[in-house]
Amino acid sequence: MPTYSRKNFILIDANSWFYRAFYALPRLTLLDGRPCGAVYGVALMLLKIIEEFGPDYLAIALDSKEPTFRHQLFPDYKAQRPPMPQDLVSQIDLLFELIKAFQIASFRVPGFEADDIIATIVNKLSQKEKKGLSFEIIIASGDRDLLQLVRPGVVLFTTKKGFSSAVVFDENLVEDKYGVRPDQLIDYKVLVGDASDNIPGIKGIGPKTARELLLRYDSINNMVLHLDELSDRQKNLLSKAVNNLTKYRELIVLKTNVPIELRLSACRFHGLPILKLKKLFHRWGFNSLISRLEKLGSLQQNLFSTQ
């Protein structure tokens, strides 16, 4: 893992870890029989992130239950996804109780996804840099749609193979993995589509062609300006899809203007409420996390006593 300079700001996509834990971890239940594996996974990831990065600032973003503007723009958006399993629905209240117990600032806005909230916070922090405040931003999410935000000073922390191993995407790793720069990922997905969100892309253009076109022309806008230079097949495919390009882009690009107020004082991390969390973990039977909490408590005492 890379070492980050302070001050760092950790942005956590709670819903992505909630879903990922549900499918990656064994089924766990509370004493009353309610499933709790997804919430256990979120608690585990929160502790891991705090232990790994020692945040100065910390915030959690959550999806809203209401349809988003993307559903209004494109009714088939995520239409292929099955409804949330009932065993996961029954853990939503536990998720909110967990976040409240961690005493971490959280943001949830009707009509917007957690990704949009994170993009908005990244944008607001960039604006604060103009006032002399500088942050190392670490986005913690299992959703790689957020890779479009990676840039100098912004990385994405995610996991591979469920929860078993972690990776940090910076600009170089994004380019190594996808063959395009982070700022080109939006156009890349417009071209090839995104099956996870049911965005079709341009039929007939695959990843290899998309990479070659973006390497040559840098952006879709520039491709359209140079249609005459493309092969007859590529020209035909782009010409047929031109009316959908703007719509697909609207679906893929993350919004940076979600109506939230970002107060740094509310996001300042002053350490975990160890006793409160221990009490909650005892009640839920998360005994394996208690020793981890106690270790973090000792680290916190040393850390905050030297500040």
Tens of pLDDT along 123-153? 999 988 777 788 999 999 999 999 999 999 9
Examine residue 3 and state whether it is found in any structural domain, yes or no. Answer: no
Average pLDDT over residues 174-199: 93
Residues 115/147, Cβ–Cβ less than 8 Å: no
| pTM of the full structure | 0.91
Examine residue 216 and state whether it is found in any structural domain, yes or no. Answer: yes
Examine residue 14 and state whether it is found in any structural domain, yes or no. Answer: yes
Q: Of 223, 252, 281, which marks where a domain is finished?
A: 252
Query: What radius of gyration, in Å, describes the C-alpha atoms of the chain?
Result: 21
For residue 266, the model assigns a pLDDT of 96
Q: Report the residue count for the chain.
A: 307
Distance, in Å, from the CA atom of 163 to the CA atom of 166, rounded to the nearest integer, reads 7
Distance, in Å, from the CA atom of 240 to the CA atom of 236, rounded to the nearest integer, reads 6
CA distances from 20 to 4, 54, 285 (A): 26, 23, 21
Distance, in Å, from the CA atom of 235 to the CA atom of 241, rounded to the nearest integer, reads 10
Q: Is the pLDDT of residue 14 over 80?
A: yes
Average pLDDT over residues 64-80: 83
Same domain, 134 and 38: yes
Average pLDDT over residues 249-270: 94
Share of the chain above pLDDT 70, in %: 94
Domain of residue 228, residue span: 182-252
Domain count, the chain: 2
Q: Is the pLDDT of residue 18 over 70?
A: yes
Pairing of strands 105-107, 57-61: parallel
For residue 165, the model assigns a pLDDT of 81
> What's the pLDDT tens digit per position in 191-243?
999 988 888 899 899 999 999 999 999 999 999 899 999 999 999 999 888 88
Q: Give the residues across from 154 on adjacent strands.
A: 137, 151
Q: How confident is the model at residue 162 (pLDDT cuts 50, 70, 90)?
A: low
Residues 247/197, Cβ–Cβ less than 8 Å: no
Distance, in Å, from the CA atom of 219 to the CA atom of 213, rounded to the nearest integer, reads 8
Same domain, 202 and 171: no
Share of the chain above pLDDT 90, in %: 68
Q: How confident is the model at residue 300 (pLDDT cuts 50, 70, 90)?
A: low
For residue 78, the model assigns a pLDDT of 81
- Establish whether the linkage from the previous residue to 7 is cis, with ω within 30° of 0: yes
Examine residue 32 and state whether it is found in any structural domain, yes or no. Answer: yes
Same domain, 90 and 208: no
For residue 6, the model assigns a pLDDT of 55
Output the average pLDDT for the chain: 90
For residue 305, the model assigns a pLDDT of 42
Token pair 């840099």 is found at: 129
Q: How many C-beta atoms surround the C-beta of residue 29 within 10 A?
A: 12
The domain that contains 190 carries what CATH number? 1.10.150.20
Average pLDDT over residues 155-170: 86
Same domain, 161 and 231: no
> What's the pLDDT tens digit per position in 224-238?
899 999 999 999 999
Q: Is the pLDDT of residue 307 over 50?
A: no
Same domain, 170 and 239: no
For residue 301, the model assigns a pLDDT of 56
For residue 3, the model assigns a pLDDT of 47
Average pLDDT over residues 7-24: 94
Examine residue 302 and state whether it is found in any structural domain, yes or no. Answer: no
Same domain, 146 and 242: no
What is the Cβ-side half-sphere exposure of residue 47, based on CA atoms within 13 angstroms? 25
